[in-house]
C-alpha cells in the first residue's frame, strides 16, 4: 500500500490524543518486523489513545501463526488467519490444514486476509482465485467472518462473492479504496467496509470523501493497517514514518469530518459494529 517503514518511530506529543470512546482497530499488522523491538510500548500507547482491542492480521502461514501467538499473549488482541493474494501461489494442502486448525482457536476471529489483488499481481490471477475460493470454503466450514483484501479487482471479487454469499456469515472488505459502484456492490451483498488513513490522502483518497457517508454506520469499521498507510492529516512528523494503533483516533477524526458526524458518534458506532462482527461481546474489551 505504501513504502514499508524500516525503524521505530515513537510518537511526538502532538500526536498523542485519546479517542472520545473506546475504539477497535480491525486491521493491525503487529507481526511486522518494525514492531519487534517495542511491541509492549506500542500496545501501551494504543491503550492511552483509548484503543480497547486490536485484530492482528494474519496474511500468510507464519504471520497467521504469529498473530495467533500474540493474541494469546496479550489481553485485547485477537487474530485473523489467512493467505493474502500476494502469496496465493503458496496455497497447498499443508497450508489448508494449518489454516483450518487456526480457525478453530478461540482467539482467531476471522478467515483472512484473503481476496484478490490485480494491482500488483504478485501471484497469478489463477492462483489468486484458487486460494481465495479455498478460503471461502474454510469460512463456510468454520462459520467465521471473512477479512477481505481487494485492489483493482472489484468486478471479479463481486462475481465470486455472489456465488458464495449464501454460504458465508459476515465479511468485511478491509481498507476499501475502490470506486462508488464497487462499494455499492459490496453493500448490496450485505458486506462491511473498513476505512483507514487512505481517506486523508489528498493524492489518492480524495474520491472516497465523496461517498464515504453512504456507508451505513452498522457496516462501517476503522483500522490502521499499520505499519502502512500513515494518515496525512497528522500535525507532526514521525521519525521513520511507522504507523501504529495509537494513531487510530486521527482516522476517526478524518472519517467523522467527511461523514458529517461527531467523533464520538463514529467511535461508538464503529466499535459497536466491530464487537458484533468479530463476536467480541462479553469479552470485556
pLDDT digits (tens, 9 = 90+) for 143-160: 999 999 999 999 999 999
Instruction: Give the model confidence (pLDDT) of 95-132 as tens digits.
Output: 999 999 999 999 999 999 999 999 999 999 999 999 99
Indicate the domain borders of the chain.
13-277
Mean predicted confidence (pLDDT) in 245-254:
98
Residue closest to 174 by CA, chosen among 216, 214, 145 = 145
Domain range 13-277, CATH class: alpha beta
- Cα–Cα distances (Å) from 72 to 31, 50, 78, 108, 283, in that order, read 14, 21, 8, 10, 14
Reduce the DSSP state of residue 171 to 3 states and report it: strand
- What pLDDT was estimated at residue 10? 84
How confident is the model at residue 282, as a pLDDT? 59
| pLDDT tens, residue by residue, 159-216 | 999 999 999 999 999 999 999 999 999 999 999 999 999 999 998 888 999 999 999 9
Contacts of 15 (CB under 8 A, 6+ apart): 234, 235, 236, 238, 246, 247, 250
**Phi, psi for residue 92 in degrees, rounded to 5:** -155, 175
Could you write out the DSSP letters of every residue in 175-188? T----HHHHHHHHH
Q: What is the mean pLDDT of the chain?
A: 95
Amino acid at each position: 500500500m505504501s513504502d514499508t517503514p524500516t525503524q521505530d518511530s515513537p510518537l511526538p506529543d502532538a500526536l498523542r490524543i485519546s479517542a472520545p470512546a473506546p475504539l477497535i482497530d480491525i486491521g493491525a499488522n503487529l507481526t511486522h518486523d518494525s514492531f519487534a523491538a517495542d511491541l509492549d510500548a506500542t500496545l501501551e500507547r494504543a491503550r492511552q489513545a483509548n484503543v480497547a482491542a486490536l485484530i492482528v492480521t494474519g496474511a500468510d502461514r507464519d504471520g497467521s501463526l504469529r498473530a495467533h501467538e500474540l493474541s494469546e499473549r496479550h489481553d485485547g488482541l485477537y487474530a485473523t488467519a489467512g493467505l493474502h493474494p500476494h502469496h496465493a501461489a503458496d496455497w497447498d494442502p499443508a497450508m489448508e490444514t494449518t489454516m483450518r486448525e487456526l480457525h478453530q482457536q478461540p482467539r482467531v476471529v476471522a478467515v483472512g486476509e484473503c481476496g484478490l489483488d490485480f494491482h500488483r499481481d504478485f501471484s497469478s490471477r489463477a492462483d489468486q482465485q484458487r486460494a481465495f475460493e479455498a478460503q471461502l470454503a474454510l469460512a463456510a466450514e468454520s462459520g467465521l467472518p471473512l477479512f477481505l483484501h481487494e485492489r483493482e479487482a472489484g468486478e471479479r471479487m463481486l462475481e465470486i462473492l455472489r456465488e458464495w454469499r449464501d454460504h458465508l456469515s459476515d465479511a468485511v472488505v478491509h481498507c476499501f479504496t475502490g470506486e462508488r459502484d464497487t462499494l455499492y456492490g459490496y453493500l448490496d451483498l450485505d458486506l462491511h467496509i473498513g476505512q483507514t488513513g487512505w481517506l486523508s490522502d489528498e493524492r489518492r483518497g480524495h474520491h472516497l470523501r465523496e461517498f464515504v457517508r453512504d456507508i451505513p454506520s452498522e457496516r462501517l469499521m476503522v483500522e490502521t493497517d499499520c505499519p502502512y498507510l500513515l494518515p496525512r492529516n497528522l500535525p507532526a512528523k514521525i521519525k521513520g514514518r511507522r504507523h501504529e494503533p495509537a494513531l487510530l483516533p486521527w482516522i476517526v477524526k478524518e472519517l467523522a469530518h467527511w461523514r458529517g458526524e461527531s467523533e464520538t458518534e463514529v467511535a461508538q458506532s464503529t466499535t459497536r459494529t466491530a464487537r458484533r462482527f468479530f463476536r467480541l461481546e462479553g469479552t470485556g474489551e
